[in-house]
Structures are given as C-alpha cells and as structure tokens.
Amino acid sequence: MEKSKESSFLFCNLCGTMLLLKSPRHAECPLCKTSRNAKDIVDKKIAYTVTTEDIRRELGISLFGEKTQEEAELPKIKKACEKCQHPELVYTTRQTRSADEGQTTYYTCPNCGHRFTEG
C-alpha cells in the first residue's frame, strides 16, 4: 500500500497529470517524472483557505455597514414640545402611500420623550 494516495494533489505543469507526493518534501509526476517541491502544494492550500475567509469577512463588513446607516444621527428642529415646552425636537419624515396625504412628520421630544405627528 502506498501512502501517497491519501496525500494532497497538484497537477503537473508539463503534462497535466496529477502529481503524487513521494515524500513530505517532494511530489513527482508519474508520467514525465517531473519533481516538484511539496512546499508549493502546501502554499496553495493556504491560499484557498484565506480566500474563503476573505469572502466571509467581506459579507460581515457589508452587514455592519447597513447597521451604521440606521443609527445615523437624527435631525433636529427648532420647535417647542407640546408637553414640556422644550425648544428643540428630534424629527423624522415619512412619505405616506397616497400622494394626496403627502408627508407625515414624526416629532420626539428629547427632554420628556413625548411623541406626536404632524402631516
């Protein structure tokens, strides 16, 4: 039984035949007998692993990017709170489905937490 069968593989540069790992240090083409440093095979394996990790990391970054946009600072307006007369309110606007109704403005008082709409 040959141990080389369970080993890593790489294809021969010259004839395209799968190389056999003859020792932990060198691989050989069974057809044209070209030998190759086993370090090349190991390096390739590492490169594939890094690529997969990079894709995962990229996906993670894009998800975090969306979250940051949502948490962006809310706009403020010089308007008195109905409840406590605080002079500045946080507001968000939302376009309603019907064009006739137009835009609705949502106000939140940063002082007492009172919420009301205008639109």
Binding site as annotated, residues = 12, 15, 29, 32, 81, 84, 109, 112
What is the smallest separation between the CB atom of 19 and Zn ion, expressed in angstroms? 8
Does the protein bind Zn ion through residue 79 (CB under 5 A)? no
Binding test (CB under 5 A) with Zn ion, winner from 37, 104, 112, 119: 112
Binding test (CB under 5 A) with Zn ion, winner from 79, 86, 88, 106: 86
Does the protein bind Zn ion through residue 81 (CB under 5 A)? yes
**Contact between 16 and 29 (Cβ < 8 Å):** no
Does the protein bind Zn ion through residue 10 (CB under 5 A)? no
What is the smallest separation between the CB atom of 101 and Zn ion, expressed in angstroms? 26
DSSP per-residue string spanning the chain: --GGGGS---B-TTT-PBPEE-SSSEEE-TTT--EEEHHHHHHHHHHHHHHHHHHHHHHHHHHHHHHHHHTSPPPEEE---TTT--SEEEEEEEE-SSTTT-EEEEEE-TTT--EEEE-
Binding test (CB under 5 A) with Zn ion, winner from 32, 42, 50, 55: 32
Interface with Zn ion by CB under 5 A: which residues? 12, 14-15, 17, 29, 31-32, 34, 81, 83-84, 86, 109, 111-112, 114
